[in-house]
Structure 1
């Protein structure tokens, strides 16, 4: 749609349609933003804090502050879309921030007072996700969709020392609380997490749990994940 003489151009976001590539870029950028939100209140790596996630054409840029106070330096790491899974992105950044340099001088620039570094994920071996990160992924997948629901499914969790995550959930029909032990997989299956309500209550799956007073029955789901 054209603009009449003397009229200002439409504000960003008010156009009738969005180009397919823009839509794909925005979906990827939103996914990365959600994935990295957790690190606003923690560290990506020792002495390294997340400062932001910035959209760029065909890529996402992650702003990181390295160091403390007056000695801190801000970097902007550019990662092309599709080069690494959103789930593995924190591990990629940890490898970059703690390992040897894997970029050339032609990959370096400056944007908004930050040193821009264009990464090549195919050259980088991402660090494995720690247990806390794997637990966070599973718990968020179960908790966020029902954040405003009157009958939430997930009501608690416990990280176990045996590599398991115990989830405390409400039964689909009836009172009480059920427990479910799932392994802290390196890459949790979203499909299996979505099926958890039915998996927990599979016939013959639930057993008494005398050592845990926080659930009435316990399901061992280690064979399903």
Structure 2
């Protein structure tokens, strides 16, 4: 499959959108995203700049070039974040031709075949889920409108949603952030009507019922 410019540009935009969060919240320990740059067109890659919060001096920043192609697919924004978390920690040996400079910053060209990506965290998945619900890519908001959320455990997130007319009041949906998010998001409005998954006996005063979707 050959990826045209528009497909690469769209993926670049999605990566930028995800990494915007890490301008304020560290991506790795105390390291923040200080820039996301489109690599030269012939490379089909993205360049991400990391450094301390509020750092601007080029010699204190590090840029990584990560190729976007992986076989017949493109790396996802989460793939890029996972690679960055690995290459920016510990000691990594780069061949001389993989180290250069750009705009005064040291630039490392990453070979993903030599890197074991860091695992995607539950916070990563939670951010994706909440951002989709709050700002869907389509013009129409999802039927399950987000009204709030609460972390209940390392792998349990409670979503508070309002669902037009199908379920009166606020419904709390307990989900596993690292599950099949795409399928869950598509099915969420209909799952809120599943009586076998629902309890009205809840000590949570912020909702009228709770739907347990952690095993879905």
TM-score band, normalised by shorter chain: 0.7 to 0.9
1:142/1:68 CA distance change after superposition, 3 Å: closer
Q: In structure 1, how many angstroms separate the alpha carbons of the residues matched to 2:53 and 2:205?
A: 45
Q: Which moved more, 1:59-68 or 1:98-107?
A: 59-68
1:223/1:87 CA distance change after superposition, 3 Å: same
Partner in structure 1 of residue 175 of structure 2 = 182
Matched, 1:91 2:78: no
Q: In structure 2, how many angstroms separate the alpha carbons of the residues matched to 1:107 and 1:41?
A: 29
Gaps spanning 5+ residues in structure 1: where? Answer: 1-18
Tell whether the 8 Å contact from 1:200 to 1:221 is kept in structure 2 after alignment. no
TM-fit CA distance, 1:147:
9.1
TM-fit CA distance, 1:131:
2.8
Q: Which moved more, 1:78-87 or 1:23-32?
A: 78-87
Matched, 1:223 2:177: no
The structure 2 residue matched to 1:134, chosen from 121, 125, 133, is: 125
Secondary structure in 1 aligned to 2:81? helix
TM-fit CA distance, 1:60:
0.7
Matched, 1:101 2:92: yes
Tell whether the 8 Å contact from 1:209 to 1:215 is kept in structure 2 after alignment. no
Tell whether the 8 Å contact from 2:11 to 2:76 is kept in structure 1 after alignment. no
1:59/1:94 CA distance change after superposition, 3 Å: same
Query: Where does 1:1-225 land on structure 2 (aligned, <5 Å)?
Result: 21-56=4-39, 57=41, 58-66=44-52, 73-83=60-70, 84-145=75-136, 153-161=145-153, 163-173=155-165, 175-185=168-178, 188-224=180-216
Larger radius of gyration: 1
Q: In structure 1, how many angstroms separate the alpha carbons of the residues matched to 2:59 and 2:29?
A: 13
TM-fit CA distance, 1:64:
1.3
Structure 1 segments of 4+ aligned residues over 6 angstroms from their partners: none
Secondary structure in 2 aligned to 1:49? strand
Q: In structure 2, how many angstroms separate the alpha carbons of the residues matched to 1:68 and 1:40?
A: 9
Q: Give the TM-score, by structure 1 length.
A: 0.80
Q: What value does the CA root-mean-square deviation take over the aligned residues?
A: 2.7
Q: Give the TM-score, by structure 2 length.
A: 0.83
Which structure dedicates a bigger proportion of its chain to strand? 2
Number of residue pairs matched?
205
